[in-house]
Structure 1
């Protein structure tokens, strides 16, 4: 059957019609994400919307269609990164990238080379992680001083929850042995009582003024770089977590100027909460950039032992992690968001952090009756990461309900150190995608880039295999928590659309929906698992506009 709508209905509100192309896409497997019609032979796009999905024999004819031959590549609904940091992705392209460093010595060799190539100004970088280094320790100011003598150097750990500062940076920030860490932060100190250089969670703010990101021209270039990288990976949309409130006007300006090739759903930093709540949800450029949520932090990260646990860390029994906010502070903010029709997304990684957020959500929801909420019962509040849960707390996600926004690649990186941090018993609720999905919970897939590389193929692979990129899983890394391929597809297509209130327009290849499409040269639904992360995106289409096409 030819599935078409009346033109007047189909093209009402079509996105970016001045730029959208009329496309005929065929030549490879097409997975629609629609249960009743899961595959197709051809897709037609007109004026930014999907016009026809079905068999080639029944496809309507028409002039002015640009043929895109998939050449065997597999086409899917547009992949959306449900949790990423667009600014950080861009800055990774413009600053020192320590991702993949194999040791302290390797990381410091990269720092030395960067310092020689960039002799002026502070050195900022990110991406190191010590858990698989032979030295098995955090970086220190002494390491940085030896590699780049006298320079202000700030190198963020991969998870973004710790930064190591050089002696020059510590001095410039006024950090000494007597400096007290802010609430929710830690200044690591050596046996001599002096700072080692490592600043954890809230303590990172002590050196924030030394960062170069305030330059407007550099910031715009960082966002351009972020958009470019994400389009090349095959993402059609990004849920931009901790989007700096001060950057929202810039992103909206870029969208209106045609400089935002991908769809953005912004969850802003808390400094913009009052203004966003007062003004309500906002969008520009035919919903190319939507700002509707606020991102809060409940705790820190597992790798830097900032995730808040009920019981002490197995490998450091003197700590249970770091809560970043209290109930008295956060519940009134949640209540205000409910009354203003603003979605809430709260970072929680440890079991104590997650249980606390669920309790705070319940208190706020009870305090603000549905008639006082613009969204009624349909608030779609989220917990970002939801990494370590007590199995007894799964039901919180069902009852409230809570959307679990999770990043599969964390599980295949963390498997190398999480057992040591948590001990075996707590792994029962760790990265529990399957257990949550089985209970009917919406699980949104994301990458947390630049914490992780940010490839949708790595994320999909991680979700369906629960193995690292070398195929390693480790002893009893709860293999039953892997999900099937169709569930993984929903995690990166339909469920992010739902989590951003856009399921009527996005998430499946259906007539009338926006033409957001992604093609990979590897068939995610049939390829051997090991082949999935080796593939690449061959086509990225947003609102009918080809924003990336491989040669």
Structure 2
């Protein structure tokens, strides 16, 4: 894009004004305002009434797994185990060779609320090597054939003879299953995710890679595609304690899915008190505060972001104790300036939120989690009891405490769907946790870009990157949200085009 004036639309400026024109040159916004006052000598393009907004950034994505789900066996939305297994059987019939990979099943939505087992999988796909990830990606079901092919799974923590796996056994099974994805399939999946994101007005993806999630080859392929092919920018994170490895991989941080705990749905998130529906456990804490301290210091000194996956309140408190000890050692200002991150932060009280804010840590959160599992009848309430579940995903309280919020999807756990995320935060199932529309939109744009240390995107102003999306919004959702009004019942806008640093990466025409 060189010297272009786009006019005849509605452009949302960084200061909240609506303009009707915007100009950009060499990938940078040079001017915006009323078309009558536009600089001369620019090529003119008609916006034809489009709403122009900063492109979204999704602060937590698993790119390859998302692409495989988009093009493969996705069990999301199956209302019964029978429906899920019928879908598996059909997929197996059309894919007669190789390992069968699937994701998205959620027994909390089924009438019997019992998870999948090897017996279920074997009946649907007899003799096949099958791995089916639960929706949260923290447990999964495997076939007998997969266990026979990798018998060491049975000796790992979290193994159950039913074929439902968690913890180390699940990670080993997942690693074995995904090793069947060849480089061509992997790159195709990555391109599919980027194309899907671009078509949703997303200009940046934060890839949460790591030794138990994907692997170095997967990350290297994605980084090369993002560097060489048009599409959303990709900020990469490596979920391991090896800071030097993260730096060698070109990552922004040794962060993301560096697991301090697991998930509520799989009973592995680390809690201060036992699960209501499984009193024998409080989940699993994978690292101690001293480990966090050492990691935060190493990352800060290396110029990288540190971060951890924390869902339960015990995991969050442990992480914050570790960060605080690091701040005592190397100075609080250095820790704050590093813009470190915590992923999920689902079970925080006001005391924990104040500690997050004091340390300048970004909370990378997923509003779709509440939409999927919140409310008095949701999975969170069954796992934790109604009272504790009301404290889940307290976005308004975090914002009031001064915590910087960044929104993401954790795709494929929940779909790439930025407008859905914004609306979910505004329509939180617990009313006191709801954000205003302007705050929710900012968290999915400026907040998420800044979480990846990209400060020239996420808002439209001269000098900022020409990274924006053009929307058709006949139902007025944008105006409703940005006026902090209730968006209930309004249809989502459709993305006409997405532009990243002056390059059109999606066009619906």
State the TM-score, normalizing by the size of structure 1.
0.85
Secondary structure class of the residue paired with 1:389: coil
Match of 1:442 in 2: 404
Q: Hey, what's the Cα distance between the residues in 2 that align with 1:256 and 1:172?
A: 37
How far did 1:507 drift?
1.6
Aligned mate of 1:267, from 205, 228, 237: 237
Q: Hey, what's the Cα distance between the residues in 2 that align with 1:414 and 1:72?
A: 37
Match of 1:181 in 2: 156
Secondary structure class of the residue paired with 1:525: helix
Match of 2:17 in 1: 38
How far did 1:53 drift?
0.8
Q: Deviations over 1:205-231 (max 9, x none)?
A: 222223245522221111111111111
How far did 1:135 drift?
2.5
Compared CA separation, residues 115 and 362, structure 1 to 2 (3 A): same
How far did 1:425 drift?
2.6
2:31 is aligned with 1:57: no
Q: Deviations over 1:137-167 (max 9, x none)?
A: 1111111110011111100011111111011
Unpaired runs of 5+ in structure 2?
A: none
Q: Hey, what's the Cα distance between the residues in 2 that align with 1:110 and 1:403?
A: 39
How far did 1:293 drift?
4.2
Q: Hey, what's the Cα distance between the residues in 2 that align with 1:159 and 1:22?
A: 46
2:121 is aligned with 1:144: yes
Contact in 1 for aligned 2:4/2:42 (Cα 8 Å): no
How far did 1:326 drift?
3.0
Contact in 2 for aligned 1:128/1:158 (Cα 8 Å): yes
Contact in 1 for aligned 2:208/2:237 (Cα 8 Å): yes
How far did 1:245 drift?
3.4
Aligned mate of 1:252, from 207, 218, 223: 223
Q: Hey, what's the Cα distance between the residues in 1 that align with 2:51 and 2:60?
A: 24
Structure whose residues are more often helix by fraction: 2
Q: Hey, what's the Cα distance between the residues in 2 that align with 1:38 and 1:269?
A: 40
Aligned mate of 1:461, from 423, 426, 434: 423
Compared CA separation, residues 21 and 240, structure 1 to 2 (3 A): farther
2:450 is aligned with 1:480: no
2:480 is aligned with 1:526: yes
How far did 1:304 drift?
1.0
Q: Hey, what's the Cα distance between the residues in 2 that align with 1:256 and 1:239?
A: 14
Q: Deviations over 1:496-522 (max 9, x none)?
A: 22222222x112101011111023323
Deviates more, 1:526-535 or 1:232-241: 526-535
Count of aligned pairs: 493
Match of 2:168 in 1: 202
Unpaired runs of 5+ in structure 1?
A: 1-19, 189-194, 283-289, 467-472
How far did 1:274 drift?
2.3
Q: Hey, what's the Cα distance between the residues in 2 that align with 1:465 and 1:361?
A: 32
How far did 1:328 drift?
4.4
How far did 1:260 drift?
4.5
Compared CA separation, residues 232 and 479, structure 1 to 2 (3 A): same
How far did 1:530 drift?
3.1
Match of 1:546 in 2: 504
How far did 1:532 drift?
4.8
Q: Deviations over 1:386-422 (max 9, x none)?
A: 0012333221112223211111100111112111211
Q: Hey, what's the Cα distance between the residues in 2 that align with 1:29 and 1:64?
A: 19
Q: Deviations over 1:450-486 (max 9, x none)?
A: 10011111101101111xxxxxx4xxxx202111111
Secondary structure class of the residue paired with 2:388: helix
Compared CA separation, residues 401 and 213, structure 1 to 2 (3 A): farther
Q: Hey, what's the Cα distance between the residues in 1 that align with 2:113 and 2:31?
A: 55
Secondary structure class of the residue paired with 2:66: helix
Q: Hey, what's the Cα distance between the residues in 1 that align with 2:278 and 2:220?
A: 44
2:310 is aligned with 1:348: yes
Contact in 2 for aligned 1:461/1:532 (Cα 8 Å): no
Compared CA separation, residues 320 and 260, structure 1 to 2 (3 A): farther
Q: Hey, what's the Cα distance between the residues in 2 that align with 1:30 and 1:108?
A: 48
- Cα root mean square deviation, aligned: 2.2
Match of 2:369 in 1: 410
State the TM-score, normalizing by the size of structure 2.
0.91
Q: Hey, what's the Cα distance between the residues in 2 that align with 1:306 and 1:174?
A: 23
Q: Hey, what's the Cα distance between the residues in 2 that align with 1:76 and 1:206?
A: 43
Deviates more, 1:531-540 or 1:444-453: 531-540
Contact in 1 for aligned 2:231/2:505 (Cα 8 Å): yes
Contact in 2 for aligned 1:348/1:354 (Cα 8 Å): yes
Match of 1:301 in 2: 263
Q: Hey, what's the Cα distance between the residues in 1 that align with 2:167 and 2:8?
A: 49
Q: Hey, what's the Cα distance between the residues in 1 that align with 2:285 and 2:227?
A: 39
How far did 1:426 drift?
1.7
Q: Hey, what's the Cα distance between the residues in 1 that align with 2:459 and 2:177?
A: 44
Contact in 2 for aligned 1:48/1:545 (Cα 8 Å): yes
2:463 is aligned with 1:512: yes
Q: Hey, what's the Cα distance between the residues in 2 that align with 1:530 and 1:520?
A: 19
Contact in 1 for aligned 2:3/2:42 (Cα 8 Å): no
Compared CA separation, residues 548 and 83, structure 1 to 2 (3 A): same
Match of 2:352 in 1: 393
Match of 1:233 in 2: 200
